[in-house]
Structure 1
Amino acid sequence: MKVQIKPADAPAAVGPYSHSIRMDNLLFISGQLPIDPATGAICEGSIEDSTRQSLNNLKAIVEEAGATMDDVAKTTVFLADVADGPAANKVYAEFFSEPYPARSAFQVAALPLGARIEIEAIVVLK
């Protein structure tokens, strides 16, 4: 059965999709933009600020599902500029510990709302 996870403290979706879908013991989290859930505005700060906001949004969904960031098995990071990767990695390492999730990272032509980063994840639930 497909169950939607929609935490109150995560920003609203910007399109016709769910924040995340739980199926059995897997949680599929849609790409999280650096949107401040309190204001609905995209983060205008540094790539570090944007990465932190995207990961805080992702973490809110993970925790709403009863999991922790240690349960994240795979992430995909989309960057507007791959040169931002090293700075984003420093913040990413604040949210995850070894063994780190498997990860793919890509530079893309553009992201919704002019964001600099978007992060999606797959989580294994207990």
Structure 2
Amino acid sequence: MSKQIINTTKAPAPIGPYNQSVKAGDLLFISGQVAINPDSNELVMGDIKTETHQVMQNLEAILHEAKLTFEHVVKTNIFLSDMSNFATVNEVYGSYFNGDFPARETVAVKGLPKNVNVEISMIATVTL
């Protein structure tokens, strides 16, 4: 099985030694995304709703580069700096899907890169 690196300028460049996503077999593994605007390379931290929308837009850009949509997502991991943001993040996250939600866990962590409030990673299938 070979792997293919998939990156796009429409999502933030990695801030460490990793790629935005890696396709291996029929799966696309998307690295955790935070609320960095890819055009300005600045954090979008107005409120948790705005921050979550930016994260989801970054994930969508990577999916699009791989010629996939949120329908292809089979698993997500959501990391929150504070579980009190769960309901708002859940509302924004859910608005990007059309019913067939992927498997998921949401955990609170002590800290996230750049002191953001939410980070989300995904696994998508390239076939439906």
Aligned pairs (5 A) from 1:1-126: 1-126=2-127
How many Å separate the matches in 2 of 1:82 and 1:10? 26
Partners of 1:110 and 1:47 lie apart in 2 by 15
TM-score, with length taken from structure 2: 0.96
Find the aligned partners of 2:13 and 2:105 in 1 and give their Cα distance: 25
Partner of 1:39: helix, strand, or coil?
A: coil
Amino acid at match of 1:95: Y
Q: Secondary structure at the match of 2:76?
A: strand
- CA-CA distance at 1:85 after TM superposition: 0.5
- Structure 1: runs of 5+ lacking an equivalent: none
Distance 1:49 1:107 in 2: 19
Partner of 2:74, secondary structure, is strand
The alpha carbon displacement at 1:49 in A equals 0.6
| RMSD of Structure 2 on Structure 1 (CA) | 0.7
Which consecutive aligned stretches of 4+ in structure 1 deviate over 3 angstroms post-superposition? none
Q: Which runs of 5+ in 2 are unaligned?
A: none
Q: Aligned partners of 1:63, 1:38: CA distance in 2, in Å?
A: 17
Aligned-pair CA distance for 1:34: 0.7
